[in-house]
Amino acid sequence: MATSRTPVEVPTKRRIAVLTSGGDAPGMNGAVRAVVRMTIHRGCEAYVVHEGYDGLVCGGNMIHQMHWEDVRGWLSRGGTLIGSARCSSFRERAGRLKAARNMVLHGIDALVVCGGDGTLTGADIFRSEWPGLLRELVSTGDLTEIQIRPHATLNIVGLVGSIDNDMAGTDTTIGCYSSLNRICEAVDAVFDTASSHQRGFVVEVMGRNCGWLALMAAISTGADWLFIPEMPPRDGWEDNMCSIINRNRDRGKRRTIVIVAEGAQDRNLNKISSTAVKDVLSTRLHLDTRVTVLGHTQRGGAACAHDRWLSTLQGVEAVNAILEITPECPSPVISIRENKIARASMMEAVRQTQKATELIKAKKFEEAMSMRDPEFREYHLAYLNTTTTDHPKMALPESERLRVAIIHVGAPAGGMNPATRVAVAYCMTRGHTPIAIHNGFPGLCRHHADKPVGSVREVEWLEAENWVNEGGSEIGTNRSLPSEDMPTTAKVFDLYKFEALFIVGGFEAFTAASQLRKAREQYSAFKIPIVVLPATISNNVPGTEYSLGSDTCLNALVTFCDVIRQSASSSRRRVFVVETQGGQSGYIATMAGLSVGATAVYIPEEGIDIKMLARDIEFLRYNFASDRGANRAGKIILRNECASNTYTTQVIADIIKEEAKGRFESRAAVPGHFQQGGKPSPVDRVRALRMAIKCMQHVEGYAGKTPDEIADDDYSAAVIGVNGSQVLFSPLGGPNGLETTDTDWSRRRPKKEFWLRFQGLVDILSGRPKSDGGVQDGECWGCYEHT
Ligand SMILES: Nc1ncnc2c1ncn2[C@@H]1O[C@H](COP(=O)(O)OP(=O)(O)OP(=O)(O)O)[C@@H](O)[C@H]1O
Ligand SMILES: O=P(O)(O)OC[C@H]1O[C@](O)(CO)[C@@H](O)[C@@H]1O
Ligand SMILES: [Mg+2]
């Protein structure tokens, strides 16, 4: 160690450092970018520590200051650009002593750590030891009293960055959905070749001791069988697995997919390897079977949209937390529950995570399962109940079985097919009759009696099985509403004896349900439970903060923006004005803006005016001038299609070009229906499963009730939705019904749009000037001085 005479700068501003540690995870760069920029925005100095805890232990230029421009373009980069490591010396007090000294020498006493349970454990130990470490450093003469005085406490905030999603206390970790995307792309591809050759495939996925990736992959791809560490199969699993696979084959399935978590084991903790599973399939079923081990492909590549906005919002929250916590506060970890970013106790989260691992080792599997996030068990059960439909104990008595009609209304959205598949499978498991209405309400009224095939058809298991990863709407969707022919709609409802209606779609689906509810007075055919599962890329359905398809759309937009932005790298100095869909809702424009780091986002809720454009052009000018060609990628402005009638996408691109006076160029780009995405994203697939099952359970609750009893219950016409940290049903009618409380009918969007607050964040993180002509607290502009 150097002596205490090592010069120490006395910082004039608070210094906050960020590091990434443990296995890398897509989205870590987004977190670092957000921490760096938010730190600067909040008037502090941003530092990074390279190579995880190794960098803290080694010090020197492994720890250095970061400026605004240094993190430009990081959102789209895979891995972690500041490096990560598994550092053995930090596990020892001697290593942490060196780390403490290096932090003081750099004037840093606030640290954001992004990693898994190990990283956070290390962080918590470090914080608890901090005063003792400093005292020891003074006693050995490595630091002086004066040097340690400003650093009496160490503030640490954790961000969970890990593909494993093994951390208790948060629904998802930064990186887990990107990894799941990679897995699903691979399994979707395997799916095709497996079908062609009628083969079996055993796919091994990562996750260490946690089965989240494996479970979600199985759900998202309709795997026939699954092995996860938390829920080892019963003894004799070989027979069970073979019998289920045989039954699926007998029903006409041409492929067999088995997902094996790398930590899979039997009830005696003996490893179940993918090759052992392959051997069972080959020898017992004589299936031509292949093993695919996905390995580190699961950790690499650019982050998906979900991980980009999640890491950004959590990075921002980490800085806010660092500046707010007091010495007595336990270190927080930034979590997400459904749609709500929150803070939880870091040590409690780590304790529970480690407990889950210990319980697995102690063969207490049920308890281990309950240590995972609350939905884990729900998802596991849902997977079991929908992968095969033969569960005699699940079947309802004849009197409680319903004829459930399923209809898609509105534009296609990713997740519509998986949701329908799940509803069908659940109905079959319970003994209900799933009936698909093809091509929406016009299909119902005009083609129900067509020969040889009408538009109202019972769904076969095999038909629905193939919808697990299909985009669009296989049963056909239509924007037309029942009001176009209410009498015929009611007649056909009666004719086919519908006893429940499941509507999947966007604002039109919501409107259709509302119309049917209001028409109950005239037509008793509608006095049945009606439930809407929001599915629209616009995410503009009242009663929910999330609609199926919006995540798929964001991924498509993010890919589009990444590609065009990169195309500017040869020409440089180019601004793309990208037109997004979304109707009167700026949701996808704003979330895409957060996910790609847009310079500005124009949304209908705010409109566009000439002053705004002038300010943004001035900002672009400043940006390009201070950039000095350092970053070659283009800049993105996102404009929602309805943001202004006058300032169209092309007009804005032309104005920018004109005003740039040759200093930079601009182009309009319209991804159009590309935004509906191809195959649904894993987020949309797994949420489709959960939401569709909840919807079926909801309508099931009305079995045995009279039409009037049903009509009298406000919840008999409801929307399922994510509301903050909960998934809830909201009634359409009644005093608290969405129709009156939360629907802006003329603008076709909810009255309260939760995401509007993110609009300001897009601006803060791009450094865009405020609308009042000022700048974002002066910090974002000021930072350009450093470049
Ligand atoms: N008990 C501990 N005490 C001190 N430091 C620790 C401890 N556990 C882990 N660390 C530090 O955290 C680093 C990362 O931990 P680990 O390798 O377990 O990965 P992780 O953060 O859990 O991420 P992932 O599991 O996603 O790869 C370790 O290399 C070590 O430096
Ligand atoms: O990259 P390494 O060090 O081989 O670690 C692999 C492990 O890291 C993870 O990718 C992330 O924790 C695990 O899923 C996997 O078991
Ligand atoms: Mg770990």
User: d(Cα 308, Cα 21) in Å, to the nearest integer?
Assistant: 18
Residues 350-403: tens digit of each pLDDT: 999 999 999 999 999 999 988 887 788 899 999 998 888 788 889 999 999 999
CA-closest candidate to residue 538, choices 310, 755, 759: 755
User: d(Cα 417, Cα 434) in Å, to the nearest integer?
Assistant: 14
Q: Which DSSP category does 395 fall into?
A: P
Angle (nearest 5°) at CA 305 between 771 and 617: 30
157: CA distance to ligand 3 center in Å? 17
Pick from 658-667, 711-720, 740-749: least confident: 658-667
Residue owning the nearest CA to atom 8 of ligand 2: 23
Cβ(156)–Cβ(113) below 8 Å: yes
φ and ψ at 721, to 5 degrees?
A: -160, 160
Strand partners, 532: 503, 719
Determine the 3-state secondary structure of 522 from DSSP: coil
Residue 37 annotated as lining a ligand binding site: no
Q: What is the mean pLDDT of residues 317-335?
A: 94
φ and ψ at 70, to 5 degrees?
A: -65, -20
207: CA distance to ligand 2 center in Å? 7
pLDDT band at 124; cut points 50, 70, 90: very high
> Best substitution site from 80, 87, 121, 163 to test ligand 2's pocket, by max atoms within 8 Å of Cβ?
163
Helices (H), 24-116: 28-41, 53-58, 93-105
Residue owning the nearest CA to atom 5 of ligand 2: 23
> Best substitution site from 24, 28, 86 to test ligand 1's pocket, by max atoms within 8 Å of Cβ?
86
pLDDT band at 7; cut points 50, 70, 90: low
711: CA distance to ligand 1 center in Å? 56
Q: Which DSSP category does 302 fall into?
A: P
Domains of the chain: 15-173+303-356 (3.40.50.450), 176-298 (3.40.50.460), 393-548+680-750 (3.40.50.450), 562-678+758-766 (3.40.50.460)
Q: Are strands 45-49 and 63-66 parallel, antiparallel or unpaired?
A: antiparallel
User: What pLDDT does residue 785 have?
Assistant: 27
Q: What is the mean pLDDT of residues 565-573?
A: 77
Q: What is the mean pLDDT of residues 523-528?
A: 98
Residue 339, Cβ neighbours under 10 Å: how many? 18
Cβ contacts of residue 773 below 8 Å, gap of 6+?
615
Interface predicted TM-score (ipTM):
0.94
Residue 674 annotated as lining a ligand binding site: yes
Pick from 4-13, 387-396, 527-536, 589-598: least confident: 4-13
22 Cβ closer than 6 Å to some ligand 1 atom: yes
The alpha carbon torsion through 773, 775, 776, 779 (nearest 10 deg) reads -170
- List the strands of the sheet with 340-345, edge to edge: 63-66, 45-49, 15-20, 110-115, 155-160, 332-337, 340-345
173 Cβ closer than 6 Å to some ligand 1 atom: no
Residues 580-633: tens digit of each pLDDT: 999 999 999 999 999 999 999 999 999 999 999 999 999 999 888 876 655 667
User: What pLDDT does residue 631 have?
Assistant: 63
Ligand 2: residues with CB < 6 A are 23, 116, 162-164, 206-208, 262, 299
Cβ(669)–Cβ(588) below 8 Å: no
Residue 690 annotated as lining a ligand binding site: no
Residue 590 annotated as lining a ligand binding site: no
Residue owning the nearest CA to atom 17 of ligand 1: 22
φ and ψ at 107, to 5 degrees?
A: 70, 30
Could you identify the atom of ligand 1 that is nearest to the CA of residue 208? 25
Q: H/E element holding 98?
A: helix 93-105
Q: What is the mean pLDDT of residues 431-451?
A: 97
115: CA distance to ligand 3 center in Å? 8
119: CA distance to ligand 1 center in Å? 4
Query: Residue 4: pLDDT above 50?
Result: no
Mean pLDDT of the chain: 93
Q: What is the mean pLDDT of residues 733-746?
A: 97
Q: Which DSSP category does 168 fall into?
A: T
Pick from 196-210, 552-566, 616-630, 758-772: least confident: 616-630
599 Cβ closer than 6 Å to some ligand 1 atom: no
Residue owning the nearest CA to atom 9 of ligand 1: 118
Q: Which two tokens stand for residue 259?
A: 């997902």
24 Cβ closer than 6 Å to some ligand 1 atom: no
731: CA distance to ligand 3 center in Å? 42
Residue 463 annotated as lining a ligand binding site: no
User: d(Cα 38, Cα 505) in Å, to the nearest integer?
Assistant: 37
Pick from 487-496, 522-531, 624-633: least confident: 624-633
Q: Which two tokens stand for residue 202?
A: 């055993």
208: CA distance to ligand 3 center in Å? 8
Residue owning the nearest CA to atom 28 of ligand 1: 86
Query: Residue 478: pLDDT above 60?
Result: yes
User: What pLDDT does residue 6 have?
Assistant: 52
User: d(Cα 516, Cα 509) in Å, to the nearest integer?
Assistant: 11
Q: What is the mean pLDDT of residues 30-44?
A: 97
420 Cβ closer than 6 Å to some ligand 1 atom: no
119 Cβ closer than 6 Å to some ligand 1 atom: yes
pLDDT band at 327; cut points 50, 70, 90: confident
Burial of residue 95 (CB within 10 Å: 0-12, 13-18, 19+) is buried
User: What pLDDT does residue 779 have?
Assistant: 35
Q: H/E element holding 226?
A: strand 225-227
Residue 536 annotated as lining a ligand binding site: yes
Q: Which two tokens stand for residue 627?
A: 């950039």
Cβ(536)–Cβ(505) below 8 Å: yes
Residue owning the nearest CA to atom 20 of ligand 1: 116
Catalytic annotation present for 551: no
635: CA distance to ligand 2 center in Å? 35
Q: Which ligand minimizes its atom distance to the CA of 162?
A: 1
162: CA distance to ligand 3 center in Å? 7
pLDDT band at 568; cut points 50, 70, 90: confident
Residues 131-170: tens digit of each pLDDT: 999 999 999 999 999 999 999 999 999 999 999 999 998 9
User: d(Cα 682, Cα 688) in Å, to the nearest integer?
Assistant: 9
268: CA distance to ligand 1 center in Å? 27
Residue 296 annotated as lining a ligand binding site: yes
Catalytic entry in 24, 70, 164, 551: 164
Could you identify the atom of ligand 1 that is nearest to the CA of residue 115? 21
Strand partners, 750: 743
263 Cβ closer than 6 Å to some ligand 1 atom: no
User: What pLDDT does residue 571 have?
Assistant: 67
> Best substitution site from 19, 84, 119, 206 to test ligand 1's pocket, by max atoms within 8 Å of Cβ?
119
Could you identify the atom of ligand 2 that is nearest to the CA of residue 86? 3
Residue owning the nearest CA to atom 2 of ligand 1: 122
User: d(Cα 103, Cα 115) in Å, to the nearest integer?
Assistant: 19
Cβ(149)–Cβ(11) below 8 Å: no
What is the Cα Rg of the chain in Å?
A: 28
Q: What share of the chain is helix, strand, coil (3-state, %, to 5)?
A: 50, 15, 35
For residue 174, the Cα-to-chain-centroid distance in whole angstroms is 9
User: d(Cα 699, Cα 691) in Å, to the nearest integer?
Assistant: 12
User: d(Cα 694, Cα 422) in Å, to the nearest integer?
Assistant: 10
φ and ψ at 498, to 5 degrees?
A: -65, 130
Pick from 41-50, 244-253, 266-275: least confident: 244-253
Which has the higher per-residue pLDDT, 10 or 254?
254
Q: What is the mean pLDDT of residues 712-733?
A: 95
Residue owning the nearest CA to atom 15 of ligand 2: 208
User: What pLDDT does residue 95 have?
Assistant: 98
Could you identify the atom of ligand 2 that is nearest to the CA of residue 166? 12
Q: Which ligand minimizes its atom distance to the CA of 119?
A: 1
586 Cβ closer than 6 Å to some ligand 1 atom: no
Residue 207 annotated as lining a ligand binding site: yes
Residue owning the nearest CA to atom 27 of ligand 1: 23
